[in-house]
Amino acid sequence: MPKILIPASLPEDWKRFRAGDAAMIVHSFSHTNEWLEDYQALLDLFGLRAGVDQAESTSLPTGLPLHFAWVHGTERYLRA
């Protein structure tokens, strides 16, 4: 099972790089969206729900807008 880590330094990096937003985008190359349940469990921690090819957003307590998306590539590029 993969571990998903959000660095504690994210708010500080946001200030340092003057980023307007932060994003976590998972580009899945799995035909079956393997590990999607783990991604959805992460979103649950933020009170969010999203499926494949859907984005959700929230804000951290620091005010940093944080966006999540699980995207599935075009099927012809998934064939090995």
Q: For the chain, give every domain's residue range.
A: 20-78
Q: Which residues contact 60 (CB under 8 A, 6 or more apart)?
A: 10, 11, 66
Tokens 């994210």 sit at which residue?
10
CB 39 within 8 A of CB 70: yes
How far does the chain reach from its first CA to its final CA, in angstroms?
23
Tens of pLDDT, residue by residue over 10-57, are 666 667 777 788 888 998 888 888 899 999 998 998 999 989 999 999
Q: What is the pTM of this model?
A: 0.73
